[in-house]
Structure 1
């Protein structure tokens, strides 16, 4: 039997707090859905920011996350659709536009957008 990890989601937009145990290794978003507590999502592939959260306490494994820069991940942001808890976890949902602005806002309206612009600047 796999270890259960307690996960608390502070869903800002709905003014709710949801606490569930998620089997170790399972995707957080999918496990919450299976337990009757669906959370915001869009692509389910770690490419958009609809399911973005900020980690309050704990750590997540999100190696499959393509939609967040390494910089934002280092600042504690994650995508629940491709996140797995590695220890007890508390997260807070974020507004998709807020995360998008943090990640890409510095490019738009400033003449820096060009085809092929990578998420990670070298």
Structure 2
């Protein structure tokens, strides 16, 4: 028999809060949806940042969260689509663009793209 934990999700964008019971052997997002919570998601396989949350309290396990760097995981970010509760949790949804910038900004924030420059003819 699997343990069940209480997961409180604060949805910043919608201004709502859910308190849900989540089995330890089920993805948090899937369990929340089955209980009527409408949370942001996109790919459902841990590759994007749409379902990103910040863990306020508790322990979470996310071995398949390839969309988050180890640095962001250490700072308390998680992806609900591929995360398991390991204790009672309090999490807060994040703005997808903010998390994307934290994750990938150092690679893409290298200035403006310029159009109309002549090509080298060598």
TM class by shorter chain equals 0.7 to 0.9
Distance 2:109 2:50 in 1: 22
User: Does structure 2 retain, via aligned residues, the 8 Å contact 1:29–1:38?
Assistant: no
2:97 is aligned to: 97
Instruction: Give 1:23 deviation, angstroms.
Output: 1.1
Q: TM-score, with normalisation over the residues of structure 1?
A: 0.87
Unaligned runs of 5+ in 1: 112-122
Give me the CA root mean square deviation: 1.1
- Structure 2 SS opposite 1:101: helix
Distance 1:70 1:94 in 2: 17
Alignment of 1:110 with 2:113, yes or no, is no
Alignment of 1:44 with 2:51, yes or no, is no
Q: Encode CA deviations 1:60-104: one digit per residue, 9 max, x unaligned.
A: 100011100000001000000000000010000001100000111
- Structure 2 SS opposite 1:36: coil
